[in-house]
Amino acid sequence: MDVEQYQFDEALKAQRAIKEAQVAQVRQRYGLLTRIVLYVIAVGFLILSLIPIYLIVSASFKTDLQIFAIPPVFIFTPTLDNYRVALTGGTSQLPYVINSLIASIASTIIAVVFGSMAAYGLARFNFKGKNDLAYWILSTRMAPPIAFVVPMFVLIKSLGLLDTWWALIIMYTGMNLSFAVWLLRGFFLDIPPELEESALVDGYTRFQVFTRIALPLVKPALAAVAVFSLIFSWNEFLFALILTQSNAKTIPVGIQGFSNSMGINWGPFMAVAFIAILPVMVFTFIMQRYLVRGLTFGAVK
Amino acid sequence: MAEVRLQNVWKVYGGTVEAVKGVNLVCHDKEFLCLLGPSGCGKSSTLRMIAGLESVTQGDVFIGGRNVTHVPPKDRDIAMVFENYALYPHLTVYDNIAMPLKVRGFSKAEIDAKVRHAAEILHMTDLLDRRTVRLSGGQKQRVGIGRAIVRNPAVFLMDEPISHLEAQLRAQMRVELKRLHLEVEATTVYVTHDQLEAMALADRIAVMNFGVLQQVGTPTELFDKPANQFVAGFIGSPPMNFLTCELVWERDELFVQGQGYKVALPAETKQKLLLRGKDGSLILGIRPLDVRIAQSASEATPIAAQTFVYEPQGETCQVTVQLDGQLLSVETSGDFFTQAGETAWIGFDTAKLHLFDSKTGANLVV
């Protein structure tokens, strides 16, 4: 047995050495010049995508004069006036931020919880019309949202849910669920059924197998679903605009209204924009390491 | 420990595919029973129904006298070992073996004692802290077996546990499994498609084909007295030779006659055939070892055949001869020599000759 272990370890070492050699070979092939060019392109792209964010953040701390100064001011004393305008008094966007948080967090949680359960059912159990059901779920994503905005408005209105959180939560959950179900189903299919059967024999109930064996194994996918659902719900504009007026208005609609009400007041506008970007950015950073694994895992299989 | 009993068990998939058809089978207490058959014969479905991983379409499953047909797997007091190990990849060897105990709420001290004991039996105490991804196939399956024995269940179910391993390791694990069975004395139902494995391990073997139980018996019984042509052909390596033949009466003697040969049957065989009232066209079966071969004609080797292929294998050799167009394999001692194309003289050991009904395949001389 020790011999067996030894051979196995040796084989593992050999595999690793081969892989390292291959990587080294690839590195050698690209000369120094190629690598410099690659870095320049990468840095250029990075700057390009960061400029808008820099503009938003810097402008939100500047006075109007500084915002429009030519040449642009890079060093200035930051002011919080813009944020005061954006978050307090009659023009406060704070309620909209809260609405957005509630609608997107709630719909994300519901999509992850129900999506994982539906996906597990579709991946593990055989029942009549299983594939039809799966494709029906997928089909809910096929029409462009604008196509069913009017029927949805009528539905929500007759339910008496216009301008409530519920209207948004229901809509966003519906839109996120199909994505959640399809992504997670693939992951659940990748778990060998024997692993779960062995747990069933070991003493788990089917539900315990789901929560303690299956879910921990698809953590990366859960993270990916959560991030995408949250970003989608947070950024969603069309339905929020149609289905809400004031009570449940979300921040994307808020920004739009903010600019209209008094012309464009750039300082406070940028402050609101920054507030709107912040939560998604923070959340994505937190989930980042799961996210990369989640996306590549699904892609490889 | 307990007895496993299947009573007229059926498994039908999707209302049309009959995977298991009316199986009646008993695995006695402490017995090692092998379910043997080609792939798709229903042996795995049968095992999974015993485990409760597959619903029973019709019939009943008993474990230790208790009807468990509708009892979930966790309450059947069984442990199962899977072909592809089914280890939890995110856990260490120790935690994998400890899992069934943790689920059942054993105390930490108890778990530790039991896991270490199981590891000792399987000689893997020094591997307990390893992650299972860093183990070889044989070790992984040892962990799988450890997870099964740690709970001391009433019945072990094994679904081709060593089929994934390479030949050498498989032979080694076979020895370990047999030794383990002697040590823990657990009722074991073991599924395999490898007849050598079944012969080596089992107290009794149940052969299945097309969802139907063909025969249950000890390895010797199956080898010497196969119930039908399928069992005769499936067990034994190289497999039994089958030739078409006719029964022919000449005075008081009964002969079997086929293309290129005619052999008198011994009195015992004759009587059995008479009792069954069989006549006409049959299938003759004879194992390669029961065919005599020589370089010259004699009373024991009266039939002329042509050597087709000669395969020396050290202590023995295998000769495939051509008998009037039909191929026949013969196994004999290694010092026999012939060449392709040469005439070889063969004879049948008539006491070990089997005759099968050409329609039903039933063995007429057991």
Q: What is the mean pLDDT of chain B?
A: 90
A191: contact with B, CB 8 A cutoff: no
- Judged against a pLDDT cut of 70, whether residue A293 lies above it is answered with no
How many other C-beta atoms can be found within 10 angstroms of the C-beta atom of residue A17? Answer: 10
Q: Which of A14-28, B74-88, B196-210 has the highest mean pLDDT?
A: B196-210
The answer to whether the CB of B302 falls within 8 A of the CB of B347 is yes
Instruction: Indicate whether B283 and B349 sit together in one domain.
Output: yes
Of the residues B186, B211, B234, which one is the last residue of a structural domain?
A: B234
Residue of B227, B164, B156, B226 whose CA lies nearest to B194: B164
CA distance B36 to B19: 15
B296-333 burial code (b ≥16 CB/10 A, e <16): eeeeebebebebbebeeeeeebebbbbbeebebbbbbe
Q: Is the pLDDT of residue B165 over 90?
A: no
Residues of B in contact with A195 (CB under 8 A): 86-88
Closest among B143, B121, B124 to B132, alpha carbons compared: B143
| B198 shares a domain with B299 | no
Reported pTM: 0.78
For the CA atoms of A67, A70, A76, A80, what is the dihedral angle to 10 degrees?
A: -10
Q: Which of B52, B80, B151 sits opposite A198 (nearest CB)?
A: B80
Q: How many CB atoms lie within 10 A of CB A276?
A: 21
Give domain status of residue B20, yes or no.
Answer: yes
In order, the DSSP letters of B63-120 are ETTEE-TTS-GGGS-EEEE-TT----TTSBHHHHHHHHHHHTT--HHHHHHHHHHHHH
Q: Does B73 touch chain A (CB under 8 A)?
A: yes
Cα distance between residue B88 and residue A298, in whole Å:
20
- Chain A residue with CA closest to B100: the answer is A202
Give the pLDDT band of residue B157 (cuts 50, 70, 90).
very high
Res A301: pLDDT: 33
Same domain, B183 and B295: no
Give residue A20's pLDDT band: very low, low, confident or very high (50, 70, 90). confident
Checking if the pLDDT of B18 tops 60, the result is yes
Token couple for B128: 């307990």
Strands lying side by side in the sheet with B78-81: B78-81, B155-159, B187-192, B32-36, B204-209, B212-217
B310 and B349 belong to one structural domain: yes
For residues B100 and A203, the answer to whether their CB atoms sit within 8 Å is yes
User: Is A202 close to B88, i.e. CB distance below 8 A?
Assistant: no
Residue B299 shares a structural domain with residue B328: yes
B220-266 residue pLDDT tens: 999 999 999 999 999 988 899 999 998 888 888 888 888 888 888 88
- Which pLDDT value is given to residue A2? 64
Q: Alpha-carbon distance B83 to B162, whole Å?
A: 7
Residue A6 confidence class, pLDDT cut points 50, 70, 90: confident
In a domain, B363, yes or no: no
Burial class (CB in 10 A: 0-12, 13-18, 19+), B262: middle
Is the pLDDT at A295 greater than 70? The verdict is no
Over residues B142-170, mean pLDDT: 88
> What CATH number has the domain bearing residue B105?
3.40.50.300
Q: How far is A7 from chain B (nearest CA, A)?
A: 9
Nearest CA to A247 among A168, A139, A133, A138? Answer: A168
SS3 for B312? Answer: strand
Chain A residue with the nearest C-alpha to that of B98: A202
Q: Output the pLDDT for position A300.
A: 36
pLDDT at B215 > cutoff 70: yes
Q: Could you tell me the pLDDT band of residue A90, with boundaries at 50, 70 and 90? A: confident
Strand runs (DSSP E) across B221-299, as ranges? 241-250, 253-258, 261-264, 281-286, 291-294
Q: Is residue B131 within 8 angstroms of chain A, CB to CB?
A: no
Same domain, B197 and B247: no
Let me know how many helices (H) and strands (E) chain A has, helices first.
15, 0
- CATH number assigned to the domain comprising residue B271: 2.40.50.140
Q: Is the pLDDT of residue B314 over 60?
A: yes
The arithmetic mean of pLDDT across residues B323-341, rounded, is 90
Contacting residues of A for B151, CB less than 8 Å apart: 202
- Ranges A281-295, B205-219, B276-290, most confident: B205-219
pLDDT score for A41 = 96
Whether residue B93 lies inside any domain: the answer is yes
**Residues of chain B positioned with their CB less than 8 A from the CB of A198:** 80, 82, 86, 144, 147
Asked whether the beta carbons of residue B147 and residue A194 sit closer than 8 angstroms, the reply is no
Residue length, chain A?
301
Contact criterion met (CB < 8 Å) for B134 and A203: no
Assess A197–B contact: CB distance below 8 Å, yes or no.
yes
DSSP-derived secondary structure letter, B194? -
Q: What is the mean pLDDT of residues B320-338?
A: 90
What are B262's strand-pairing partners? B257
Of the pLDDT bands very low, low, confident and very high (cuts 50, 70, 90), residue B365 is confident
Distance CA B83, CA B161 (A): 4
Q: How far is B37 from chain A (nearest CA, A)?
A: 21
User: Does B12 contact chain A (CB < 8 Å)?
Assistant: no
| Residue B136 near chain A (CB below 8 Å) | yes
pLDDT at A299: 38
Token pair recorded at residue A107: 């719909």
Domain presence at residue B134: yes
Number of compact structural domains in chain B: 2
**Per-residue confidence band for B14, with pLDDT thresholds at 50, 70 and 90:** confident
Residue with tokens 């006719």: B246
End-to-end CA distance of chain A: 34
Residue among A15, A202, A219, A293 with most chain B CBs within 10 A, to mutate: A202
Q: Distance from CA of residue B185 to its chain's centroid?
A: 20
**The pair of three-digit structure tokens given for residue A241, joined into one six-digit string:** 């605009």
Q: ipTM of the assembly?
A: 0.78
| Burial class, B272, CB count within 10 angstroms (exposed 0-12 / middle 13-18 / buried 19+) | middle
Average pLDDT rounded to a whole number, residues B22-39: 93
- Chain-chain contact of B139 with A8 (C-beta, under 8 angstroms): yes
Same domain, B335 and B200: no
Tell the burial category of B200 from Cβ atoms under 10 Å away from its Cβ (0-12, 13-18, 19+): middle
CA distance B4 to A12: 43
Beta-sheet pairing, B58-63 with B4-13: antiparallel
Distance of CA A210 to the CA centre of its chain: 24
Evaluate whether residue B260 is within a structural domain: yes
Q: Which of B355, B299, B354, B346 is nearest to B326 (CA)?
A: B346
Q: Are residues B226 and B334 in the same domain?
A: no
Nearest CB to B73; choose among A12, A201, A213: A201
Angle separating helix axes A251-261 and A219-235, nearest 10 degrees: 20
Give the pair of three-digit tokens for residue A119: 């996906």
Contact B100 A202 (CB under 8 A): yes
Instruction: Please report the pLDDT score of residue A296 as a whole number.
Output: 52
Q: Do A197 and B82 touch (CB under 8 A)?
A: yes
Cα–Cα nearest to A214, from A291, A116, A75: A116
Instruction: Inform me whether the C-beta atom of residue A204 falls under 8 Å from chain B C-beta atoms.
Output: yes
- Among residues A183, A180, A212, which one has the least CA distance to residue A196? A212
- A136-140, B101-105, B164-168: least confidently modelled range: B164-168
Question: Of B200, B234, B268, which residue constitutes the final position of a domain?
Answer: B234
Q: Does B56 reside within a domain?
A: yes
Question: What range defines the domain where residue B284 resides?
Answer: 241-357
Asked if A205 and B74 come within 8 Å (Cβ–Cβ), the reply is yes
Distance to chain A for B84, nearest Cα, Å:
8
CB pairs < 8 Å spanning A and B: 71
B157 and B264 in a single domain? The answer is no
Taking CB atoms and an 8 Å limit, are B84 and A194 in contact across chains?
yes
- Answer whether residue B147 shows pLDDT above 80: yes
Question: Which CA distances in Å does A301 have to A88, A294, A298, B42?
Answer: 51, 12, 6, 30
Residues of A in contact with B157 (CB under 8 A): 201
CB burial of residue B203 (10 Å; 0-12, 13-18, 19+): middle
Q: Do B329 and B217 share a domain, yes or no?
A: no
Tell me if the domain spanning A87-300 has CATH number 3.40.50.1820.
Answer: no
B108 and B220 inside one domain: yes
CA dist B310 and A188 (Å) reads 53
pLDDT > 90 fraction of chain B, expressed in percent and rounded: 52
Confidence of residue A12 (pLDDT cuts 50, 70, 90): confident
- Of B211, B234, B257, which marks where a domain is finished? B234
Sheet strands side by side (includes B303-313): B291-294, B343-348, B303-313, B316-323, B326-333
B42/B259 Cα distance (integer angstroms): 37
In a domain, B325, yes or no: yes
The pLDDT tens digits of the residues spanning A228-254 come to 899 999 999 999 999 998 888 898 988
Give yes or no for B258 touching A (CB within 8 A).
Answer: no
Specify the pLDDT at position A165: 93
Shortest CA distance to A239 belongs to which of A177, A151, A136? A151
DSSP single-letter state for residue B265? P
CB burial of A109-134 (b: ≥16 within 10 Å; e: otherwise) equals ebbbeebbebbbbbbbeeeeeeeeeb
Average pLDDT, chain A: 86
Residue A248 in tokens: 């449940």
Taking CB atoms and an 8 Å limit, are B104 and A203 in contact across chains?
Answer: yes
Would you state the pLDDT for residue A185? 93
Contact between chains at B53 and A200 (C-beta distance less than 8 A): yes
Domain map of chain A by residue range? 2-81, 87-300
As a whole number of angstroms, the distance between CA A174 and CA B245 comes to 72
Direct distance between the N- and C-terminal alpha carbons of chain B, in angstroms, rounded to an integer: 34
